[in-house]
A and B are shown apart, each in its own frame.
Chain A
């Protein structure tokens, strides 16, 4: 909300602060000022002059030479190219050494303005410049009487030599406020002025609304029925006849323009002015276009359509509240009037409406119709019905003051359930206990008084006026105290009381292990969105019947690309790898701790299973076994010391069929890894072999542990045996290892592969595999026989698998 300081000062005349002081103090008392614009910025040495003589320029057809009287016999010569100058006009003149805010074209204004110096224009002396409204930093929106192109002409009675900026009312500052949604009353100039008066401890003089109207009675002209009082708690109507449309006075135009509202004519301006001043939207109907001279407030029928005054056709249903005239709909309540009853230049008699409509209904209707207006924006916050009467009377007062018409006597006011003031128990000790302050009771009551809150000393209750609907409970009173005592003045302490143990939950500690291992292994952490396009399943070659395609769908997504919650973490990773590949980054290794969202049933009736997954992805100087290494390093560090198994039959269509495995720990599949299927790599435009590994952390978690037991460093020597085997090709080394470990028994310490070979010297269908097997006993030096017995068992087991020792 934007408002000129001069308008606030109309109600708080003693306010005397700089814009910065105002900004700081208002913000600290709860009315946040987002920024301000000084309308006289860069306007220096600008006075009122009168053109006394105009002569053609000897060397330029488009220029004229003017003599300008600045009063006190001070006449200067100014050369101008403005098309609209005439002898006798009074004009703003910037003198030598002065400044204007902008150029005459109204383009962006330079930060430091434009300095004006005397000089020669095509050889003729010019000692200043006559100003257009744009040069004065303003616009025709604010000064509609300014010419489209040329010098701004001041009224004939303006004193010569006077400060032209003052005359134009530009010694003013427009403040932009951010009003919080609970302070509906501050969406109005009066509301902000009340806060300003309280903040600076100055008297507050709200507008004095006087009685208006002729001796006629509106009831003789108009009948109003509210069919749905739930949706329309109050409806006030007044009438104006013998309307004389004219521009509104300059002061009103300027206040509206400063608020960002374009002045139009006295009637429209008055409704807008009162909406700004009181926060009460108003509407005007042409009385002669109301067929039954009647107003009925009721909901539309399903399927009705209605043309709003912007000419658009709107679809309605039975929840949309409408204004009827007995024969037809003439307005969508609280949102916009109808084309069929709008005020035109021919209007003679009109009906003013100041109503209170249900905020929720207006908000939902505005959404449904797709039309949000200034009025609906105000209604949807939930207005105070007690404000409507004063606002409509204020409008009628302005009609009379501006001579815009003859106000018909009386008011129609349908207000069946009057909203009453709320009473809140007042307990200063409780307030101090909540704030941690020591503010005495009279001080608190003083704050309340400044805010027009009354105090019932007998019941010890604070009575909140109905415009302060944010005040409901003692904690709300505490906030009022805090605001005016000053948040800054509240002490700073640390909570006392029972000590608590801080810390990370177990699963986050395991995640930290994952991060640590990934980073030590050269992987950097990525983050990707949780929502993606359903098209990624095709990109990842996920079969049509795969359960991965059962994703939670967002009903109002930002677009298809962000419409389902991921069930697989791969798209994010591959997209990130692709971005890096596309940018020619070499040897990229990324990891992500990514959630996937697996619905228990669709459509969703309970929350889905959210599973954190540890995802590794890489291309460049990396292969399948690097990924496997990171997985195992993580397991080691997470206390998972048992043998990890890899099942090549992982069945993942997005991975290379011969280069994928599920990761199995203690017979549980806890993840998978592999090389990205070349088709998928093509889909993601990754022109290199890319690898991923995914660990489902909730599956891993039960096997992790931070417990460590020292086992003692071996005291007795180890015995090592190397074996070289000829192995049928289809046997995996994992199977050989399993056999060695199984047969090796207690004295087997380790076995490690040291050579694998397929080729010329080996029989077709076979490969050569060599292992180094280490034996050690904890309590004695192994004897030859112990080792050879175990070796026999191992070799026997291996030969049962069709494996022969190499000769």
Chain B
């Protein structure tokens, strides 16, 4: 009996080892372990074994079965791996073939620049506020300390609808509108389209975008203005960006300043980009003029504030090194796809 078992075992293992396909393994399993399999047959003949030998023989049968099963399993795994490897060999692709893109669209460079500005200022707690593009003369000028007949009205080359209504020349009227709502403190930016009667050329456009900023609270100082805008410049142009404030004049702020940033192309050494000066003019700013406060219903004895205005195109042209403003309004997809 034992010999018979040994023989079956050896034969089974030999067959398993020789198998090259999963089907064949299955046949072997049926042939030895199936209901009519050889090992099962042996088990069935247990009744012919002396009762005292039965446990021992049973043990031997079970051992043989376990061994065969283990071998079957092992071989099955090996064969499956081999089959998969062969399959994968067949599936090799040329990874340098062209990509299948969804051809997503692109943002306008002005939008990219605006999103950067919004990200920075919203992060500092500023609300984004919008105002009308066709605006009362009163908001565009008078309430910003530019009284009727002020030469600044000519300087800004205003488009008039009639004597009371203009195409806004700046986003600053949103300052007046926000102050008039009376909710203080204020931290806001206001992006939008503005209009000045400049003929179209590489550096001028009769329609462009500004982003206005306004902070009003108790104890706001010029130092806060400097700190805020320096932080803005670092976030927009990089950690190493330096800023320089130069005295300037705007009717609606006093003191007023223009801010230059160190040239992000040459790092301030001077290059063609910054016309050799190492600095690039970015924005105008200042402390809100008390007369503006008075006209907009804010008490200048209690509140101070600062305001700034950035030309969005100026930022996008500089940041993306676009050399002709007209490209921004032609909408050639070959241009837009670069952003």
A311 to chain B: closest CB distance in Å? 27
Give Cα distance in the complex from A557 to B166, angstroms: 11
Q: Which residue of A lies closest to B189 (CB)?
A: A502
A801 to chain B: closest CB distance in Å? 39
CB pair B159 A556 closer than 8 Å: yes
Using A475-B289, A529-B206, A607-B135 as known contacts, say yes or no to A434 and B246 having CB atoms under 8 A apart: no
CB pair B152 A181 closer than 8 Å: yes
Q: Which residues of chain A from 307 to 349 have any CB-CB distance to chain B below 8 Å in the complex?
A: none
CB pair A180 B249 closer than 8 Å: yes
Counting CB contacts under 8 A, is B238 at the interface?
no
Q: Which residue of B lies closest to A559 (CB)?
A: B199
Q: Which residue of B lies closest to A497 (CB)?
A: B217
Stretch of B6-14, B21-29, B83-91, B218-226 on the interface side: B218-226
Using A499-B125, A576-B331, A591-B105 as known contacts, say yes or no to A494 and B231 having CB atoms under 8 A apart: yes
Using A524-B333, A529-B206 as known contacts, say yes or no to A479 and B128 having CB atoms under 8 A apart: no
Using A180-B249, A555-B160 as known contacts, say yes or no to A498 and B105 having CB atoms under 8 A apart: no
CB pair A528 B331 closer than 8 Å: yes
CB pair B155 A522 closer than 8 Å: no
CB pair A503 B223 closer than 8 Å: no
Stretch of A25-33, A141-149, A281-289, A440-448 on the interface side: A25-33
B221 to chain A: closest CB distance in Å? 3
Residues of the B chain whose Cβ atoms lie less than 8 Å from the Cβ of A507: 130
Residues of the B chain whose Cβ atoms lie less than 8 Å from the Cβ of A475: 254-255, 287, 289-290
Q: Which residues of chain A from 516 to 533 have any CB-CB distance to chain B below 8 Å in the complex?
A: 518-531
Using A364-B149, A498-B185 as known contacts, say yes or no to A527 and B165 having CB atoms under 8 A apart: no
Counting CB contacts under 8 A, is A772 at the interface?
no
CB pair B193 A595 closer than 8 Å: yes
Residues of the A chain whose Cβ atoms lie less than 8 Å from the Cβ of B329: 527-529
CB pair A604 B331 closer than 8 Å: no
B69 to chain A: closest CB distance in Å? 39
Give Cα distance in the complex from A520 to B102, angstroms: 8
Counting CB contacts under 8 A, is B38 at the interface?
no
CB pair A527 B122 closer than 8 Å: no
B272 to chain A: closest CB distance in Å? 13
Scoring B residues 160 to 179 as 1 if CB is less than 8 Å from chain A, else 0, what string do you get?
Answer: 11100101000000000000
CB pair B104 A554 closer than 8 Å: no
A502 to chain B: closest CB distance in Å? 4
Counting CB contacts under 8 A, is A501 at the interface?
yes
Using A487-B257, A498-B185, A500-B125 as known contacts, say yes or no to A524 and B336 having CB atoms under 8 A apart: yes
Counting CB contacts under 8 A, is B51 at the interface?
no
Give Cα distance in the complex from A556 to B195, angstroms: 12
Classify the interface of chain B: helix, strand, loop or mixed.
Answer: mixed
Q: Which residues of chain B from 100 to 125 have any CB-CB distance to chain A below 8 Å in the complex?
A: 102-108, 110-111, 118, 121-125
Scoring A residues 601 to 621 as 1 if CB is less than 8 Å from chain B, else 0, what string do you get?
Answer: 001100110100000000000
Residues of the A chain whose Cβ atoms lie less than 8 Å from the Cβ of B98: none
Give Cα distance in the complex from A496 to B167, angstroms: 36
Using A381-B151, A527-B331 as known contacts, say yes or no to A607 and B336 having CB atoms under 8 A apart: no
Contact of A530 among B193, B254, B336 (CB under 8 A): B193
Residues of the B chain whose Cβ atoms lie less than 8 Å from the Cβ of A508: 128, 130
Residues of the A chain whose Cβ atoms lie less than 8 Å from the Cβ of B220: 495, 497
Residues of the A chain whose Cβ atoms lie less than 8 Å from the Cβ of B230: 492
Contact of A363 among B151, B159, B193 (CB under 8 A): B151
A485 to chain B: closest CB distance in Å? 10
Counting CB contacts under 8 A, is A473 at the interface?
yes
Using A27-B246, A504-B118, A527-B108 as known contacts, say yes or no to A576 and B330 having CB atoms under 8 A apart: yes
Counting CB contacts under 8 A, is B134 at the interface?
yes
Q: Which residue of B lies closest to A593 (CB)?
A: B111
Counting CB contacts under 8 A, is A720 at the interface?
no
Residues of the A chain whose Cβ atoms lie less than 8 Å from the Cβ of B152: 181
CB pair A502 B161 closer than 8 Å: no
Counting CB contacts under 8 A, is B126 at the interface?
yes
A interface size (C-beta, 8 A): 89
Residues of the B chain whose Cβ atoms lie less than 8 Å from the Cβ of A501: 125, 127
Give Cα distance in the complex from A507 to B336, angstroms: 25
CB pair B224 A363 closer than 8 Å: no
Residues of the B chain whose Cβ atoms lie less than 8 Å from the Cβ of A518: 105
Interface centre among B152, B167, B222, B248 (most CB of A within 10 A): B222
CB pair A556 B128 closer than 8 Å: no
Using A476-B254, A525-B105 as known contacts, say yes or no to A435 and B336 having CB atoms under 8 A apart: no
Residues of the A chain whose Cβ atoms lie less than 8 Å from the Cβ of B134: 552, 565, 597, 604, 607-608, 610
Counting CB contacts under 8 A, is B59 at the interface?
no
CB pair A494 B107 closer than 8 Å: no
B204 to chain A: closest CB distance in Å? 11
Q: Which residues of chain A from 669 to 716 have any CB-CB distance to chain B below 8 Å in the complex?
A: none
Give Cα distance in the complex from A558 to B196, angstroms: 10
CB pair B133 A610 closer than 8 Å: yes
Using A478-B255, A482-B255, A529-B206 as known contacts, say yes or no to A524 and B337 having CB atoms under 8 A apart: yes
Residues of the A chain whose Cβ atoms lie less than 8 Å from the Cβ of B110: 527
Contact of A502 among B127, B218, B248, B254 (CB under 8 A): B127
Counting CB contacts under 8 A, is A491 at the interface?
yes
Counting CB contacts under 8 A, is B245 at the interface?
yes
Using A475-B290, A492-B223, A595-B133 as known contacts, say yes or no to A500 and B187 having CB atoms under 8 A apart: yes
Give Cα distance in the complex from A552 to B222, angstroms: 41
Give Cα distance in the complex from A433 to B249, angstroms: 21
B128 to chain A: closest CB distance in Å? 5
Counting CB contacts under 8 A, is B304 at the interface?
yes
Counting CB contacts under 8 A, is A778 at the interface?
no
A565 to chain B: closest CB distance in Å? 7
Counting CB contacts under 8 A, is B328 at the interface?
yes
CB pair B218 A525 closer than 8 Å: no
Scoring B residues 259 to 286 as 1 if CB is less than 8 Å from chain A, else 0, what string do you get?
Answer: 0000000000000000000000000000
Give Cα distance in the complex from A457 to B255, angstroms: 24
Kindly list the 7 A-B residue pairs having the minimum CB-CB distance in the complex, ordered from nearest.
A436-B223, A436-B221, A30-B247, A180-B249, A479-B255, A526-B331, A576-B331
Residue positions of B touching A, CB distance < 8 A? 102-108, 110-111, 118, 121-130, 132-136, 149, 151-152, 154-155, 159-162, 165, 167, 185-187, 193, 195, 197, 199, 206-207, 215, 217-224, 226-228, 230-231, 244-249, 254-257, 287, 289-291, 304, 328-334, 336-337
A-B contacts, 7 of them at CB < 8 A, read: A180-B248, A367-B154, A478-B254, A479-B256, A493-B221, A504-B122, A527-B329
- Name 11 extra pairs, CB < 8 A, besides A435-B255, A520-B102, A556-B160: A478-B255, A479-B247, A479-B256, A492-B223, A492-B227, A492-B230, A502-B122, A502-B124, A531-B167, A585-B332, A604-B162
Residue positions of A touching B, CB distance < 8 A? 27-30, 32, 180-183, 359-360, 363-364, 367, 380-381, 433-437, 470, 473, 475-476, 478-479, 482-483, 487-488, 490-505, 507-508, 515, 518-531, 552-558, 562, 565, 576, 579-580, 583, 585, 588-591, 595, 597, 603-604, 607-608, 610
